[in-house]
Amino acid sequence: MHRQNDSLPSDFSRLHCDEASQCLYFEILSTMDEAVMVIDDEARELVFINVAARDLAASAGIAATYEAVSTRVLPREGAETAGDSSRMCEIELDGRVFSCSIQNECGPYRVVLLRDETDRRRLEQLAASVNTTEHIDRVFAGIRHEIGNPINALKMTLTVLQRNLERFDREAIVEYVERSLTDVARVEYLLRSLRNFNMVEDPEPEQLDLADFLAQFLALAAGDFPSITHHVDADARVVRADPRALQQILINLLSNASDAIEDVDEPRIEIRAGRDGERVVLEVSDNGQGMDEETLQKLFEPFFTTKQKGTGLGMVIVQKMMARMGGEVGVQSHLGQGTTFTLQLPAV
């Protein structure tokens, strides 16, 4: 391992450059404004750190910074080196968040570009808090309304039953009990939806074979969604996603699509996945009734629904889960022309 002190070199004398071009490359790194660390893969030690990286590591110390970086950058001893030439990761150190861009993973040295993301994260959290505050009254009003309606109906039904229990015949009593159970089921359904809203607070994205995942998922869902075709392009097979979250997302989208095609003569739902740069775009399309502009604008608002039995939380859950996985969700729809939801996920 590297020396446990902060007297590491800021020149490349230890790199034993045999070629002028390689030395020139390292000299360029030394003058960069971006924080750069160079790690010897075989020796498993830090061999260079430029001035910008020293400044970035000043609070925690160079040794502690290297330890945090190397834990994420270097493979475990005996493990195979990744085949990718570059990748990204994040570390937390001394209360701050750093993004690490790892270059030249196939070569003898790993060049790590560090960026302090702490202030950006705080601004994002502040923006999210402001957005949450703006919607909090609407959310609580929605909860009161959605739970209050079946509770009030249940109270009225039980009150009538209590007052007339002695004179109601068995058939009438059964009818009122069934009404009560229907209202209880409505509350239970809403509570399940609220639990789903927080189901994947901390998703664990992993390397996921999208083609295999969809094949298994659709095999299980065939009874509920029989009119589905799917295709995954060869270069879009592998994504980073939490399979639990992705399954919940697809269930929500397919449920909406299934409702939309109820009155269509030749109903069709298609799932397609293709590569777009560093993203895989997963599309869920139907040829159903489509949505108007007003519905599209309110689609991701909590408790907005056009369904008689809907909770208005399904699309909020989808948007939240996608954001937690570093992805995005979009929608295109026109009345009478169907709807297409797009899920953008990090490609591997």
> Region 255-259: what's the mean pLDDT?
88
**Residue percentage of the chain with pLDDT more than 70:** 74
Q: What is the pLDDT of residues 97-127, one digit of tens each?
A: 888 888 765 567 788 888 888 777 766 665 5
- The SS3 of residue 123 is helix
With bands split at pLDDT 50, 70 and 90, how would you rate the model's confidence at 201?
low
With bands split at pLDDT 50, 70 and 90, how would you rate the model's confidence at 87?
low
| Structure tokens given for 229 | 């075709």
Q: What is the pLDDT of residues 222-251, one digit of tens each?
A: 766 767 899 999 999 999 999 888 988 898
CB 311 within 8 A of CB 193: yes
Instruction: Show the beta-strand stretches assigned E in 84-179.
Output: 86-93, 96-103, 109-116
CB 305 within 8 A of CB 312: yes
| CA distances from residue 279 to 192, 273, 283, 303, 329 in whole angstroms, order as listed | 32, 10, 13, 30, 12
Q: Which CATH class is domain 206-346?
A: alpha beta
**In CATH terms, is domain 13-116 a member of 2.40.50.840?**
no
CA angle 213, 215, 220 (to 5 degrees): 95
**In CATH terms, is domain 121-197 a member of 3.30.390?**
no
Residue ranges of the chain assigned to CATH 1.10.287: 121-197
Nearest alpha-carbon partner for 320 in 132, 81, 76, 43: 132
Residue whose entry in the numeric block shows the structure tokens 């400044």: 55
Nearest alpha-carbon partner for 240 in 89, 77, 83, 85: 89
Q: What is the pLDDT of residues 70-83, one digit of tens each?
A: 877 776 554 444 44
Residue ranges of the chain assigned to CATH 3.30.450.20: 13-116
Residue type, 99: S
Residue ranges of the chain assigned to CATH 3.30.565.10: 206-346
H and E: helices and strands count for the chain: 9, 12
pLDDT of residue 79: 45
With bands split at pLDDT 50, 70 and 90, how would you rate the model's confidence at 285?
very high
pLDDT surpassing 60 at residue 92: yes
In this structure, what are the phi and psi dihedrals at residue 280, rounded to the nearest 5 degrees? -105, 125
> Region 202-230: what's the mean pLDDT?
83
Query: Of all residues in the chain, what percent are helix, strand and coil, respectively (each to 5)?
Result: 45, 25, 30
pLDDT surpassing 70 at residue 24: no
CA distance 321 to 328: 9
pLDDT of residue 321: 85
CB 288 within 8 A of CB 260: yes
pLDDT of residue 208: 94
Query: What residues contact residue 84 under an 8 Å CB cut-off, 6+ apart?
Result: 105, 106
